[in-house]
Amino acid sequence: MSTALSNRISRALRPWMRRDPLDSLQEEMDQLLSRLRLDWNGDGPARLAAVPPIDVSETDTTITVRMDVPGWKTEELDIEVSGDLLKISGQRATEKEEKQETCHLVERCQGSFSRAISLPSSVNESQITADCQDGVLTVTLPKLEPAKAHKIKIRGNGRPR
């Protein structure tokens, strides 16, 4: 009897013990959607636009942000800094060619993207540089020097001490 009970329990727990193939599919979709965002400006249909990946690194004197932007022209990109927030955005117009051909697959990114990055420290906004080489946008943000302590003289009875 204990063997029959064991087999029944084993069969009852089997769906919970092994992984459902839909769970794997859902995880893959979650990962895909985390790399994409829905871009809708209210004027027309929503477009799915890829958000380029970034790296943020820091030294004692600078913060460097690198973003993969292969195929983007520099005039399609915009960089803004406000306080400790860096915003990088891009707008690429949809190519409309009148051709007598049928498209079977369209995967190239069109539309717009926007990334806002909180900077780890204050930067000297007038010294920021940006360079785009081989599809990698590099933004170099020099840090502001930390405030130095100043000794303040205290006056007592009208005389400095």
DSSP symbol at 148: P
CATH number of 2-96+105-142: 2.60.40.790
Residues contacting 75, CB < 8 A, separation 6+: none
> Do the Cβ atoms of 113 and 69 come closer than 8 Å?
no
Give percent of the chain above pLDDT 70: 63
> Do the Cβ atoms of 64 and 123 come closer than 8 Å?
no
The C-alpha atoms of residue 34 and residue 55 are separated, in whole angstroms, by 17
Q: Please tell me the predicted confidence (pLDDT) of residue 154.
A: 86
The total number of residues written for the chain in this structure: 161
Q: What is the mean pLDDT of residues 93-121?
A: 77
Q: What is the mean pLDDT of residues 26-43?
A: 58
- 19 or 70: which carries more pLDDT confidence? 70
Q: What is the pTM of this model?
A: 0.59
| Band of pLDDT at residue 42, cut at 50, 70 and 90 | very low
Q: How many CA atoms lie within 13 A of 139 on its CB side?
A: 27
Please identify which residue in the block is written with the tokens 């930390």: 146
Give percent of the chain above pLDDT 90: 35
The C-alpha atoms of residue 36 and residue 48 are separated, in whole angstroms, by 7
Nearest to 55 by CA among 111, 115, 5: 115
Q: Please tell me the predicted confidence (pLDDT) of residue 48.
A: 47
- 119 or 29: which carries more pLDDT confidence? 119
Residues facing 115 on adjacent strands? 88
- Mean pLDDT value across the chain: 77
